[in-house]
Structure 1
Amino acid sequence: MSDSYHHDPAMRQLREVLTLAKSMDVPVTVISGLEKVGELMKKRDDYCDQKTAGPSEAMAALIKDTLEHPWKQLYNEEKTKWDINPVMMSGNLEGYVLKFLVNASKAKKVLEVGLFTGCSALGMAEVMPNDGKVVTCEFDPYLAKLARTYMDRSPHGKKVQILIGSALDTIKDLAKSGEQFDFIFIDADRPGKSEYFHIALNNLLAPGGTIALDNALSGGKSYMTDTPHDDRIKDVNEIIATREDIYHVLLPVRDGIMLVRRRTDMNYK
Structure 2
Amino acid sequence: MDGIIDLLKHGRKRKMSKRSRDPAINKLREVKAEAESLGIPETIINGLQAVDDLATAREDYCDSKTSTASEPMAALIKDTLEHPWQNVYEEGKTAWNITPRMMSGNLEGYVLKFLVSASKSKNVLEVGMLTGCAALGMAEVMPDDGKVVTCEIDPYLVDLARKLMDRSPHGKKVEILTGPAIESLNGLAKKNQKFDFIFIDADKPGYCDYFNICFSELLAPGGTIAMDNALFGGKPYMEDSPPNEGVTKFNNMIVTRKDIYYVLMPIRDGIMLIRRKEDMNGTV
Alpha-carbon deviation of 1:20?
Answer: 1.1
In the alignment, which of 126, 132, 136 is matched to residue 146 of structure 2? 132
Matches within 5 A, 1:67-146: 67-146=81-160
What is residue 238 of structure 1 aligned with on the other side?
Answer: 252
What is residue 44 of structure 2 aligned with on the other side?
Answer: 30
How far apart are the structure 1 equivalents of 2:67 and 2:147? 23
Secondary structure of 2:186's counterpart equals helix
Maintained 8 Å contact 1:221/1:230: no
- Calculate the aligned-residue CA RMSD, in Å: 1.2
Q: Which has the higher contact order (CA 8 A, sep 6+)?
A: 2
Alpha-carbon deviation of 1:32?
Answer: 0.5
What is residue 16 of structure 1 aligned with on the other side?
Answer: 30
In the alignment, which of 31, 46, 55 is matched to residue 60 of structure 2? 46
Q: For structure 2, list consecutive stretches of 5 or more residues without a partner in the other structure.
A: 1-14
Maintained 8 Å contact 1:144/1:164: yes
Matches within 5 A, 1:48-63: 48-63=62-77
Alpha-carbon deviation of 1:2?
Answer: 3.4
For residues 171-203 of structure 1, the C-alpha deviation after alignment (integer angstroms, 9 at most, x for no partner) is 011001100000000000011110000000000
How far apart are the structure 2 equivalents of 1:97 and 1:132? 18
What is residue 2 of structure 1 aligned with on the other side?
Answer: 16
Maintained 8 Å contact 1:9/1:219: yes
Maintained 8 Å contact 2:151/2:176: yes
Secondary structure of 1:208's counterpart equals strand
How far apart are the structure 2 equivalents of 1:4 and 1:118? 26
TM-score when normalising by structure 1: 0.97
For residues 122-159 of structure 1, the C-alpha deviation after alignment (integer angstroms, 9 at most, x for no partner) is 00000000100000000000000000001110010000
Aligned residues: 269
What is residue 256 of structure 1 aligned with on the other side?
Answer: 270
Alpha-carbon deviation of 1:7?
Answer: 1.2
Maintained 8 Å contact 2:205/2:245: no
For residues 66-122 of structure 1, the C-alpha deviation after alignment (integer angstroms, 9 at most, x for no partner) is 010000001000001111111100000000000000000000000000000000000
What is residue 217 of structure 2 aligned with on the other side?
Answer: 203
Q: 1:39 to 1:229 in 2, by over 3 A?
A: farther
How many percent identity over aligned positions?
62
Alpha-carbon deviation of 1:242?
Answer: 1.3
How far apart are the structure 2 equivalents of 1:210 and 1:127? 16
Q: For structure 1, list consecutive stretches of 5 or more residues without a partner in the other structure.
A: none
Q: 1:155 to 1:259 in 2, by over 3 A?
A: same
Secondary structure of 2:197's counterpart equals strand
1:157 maps to 2:160: no
How far apart are the structure 2 equivalents of 1:5 and 1:80? 24
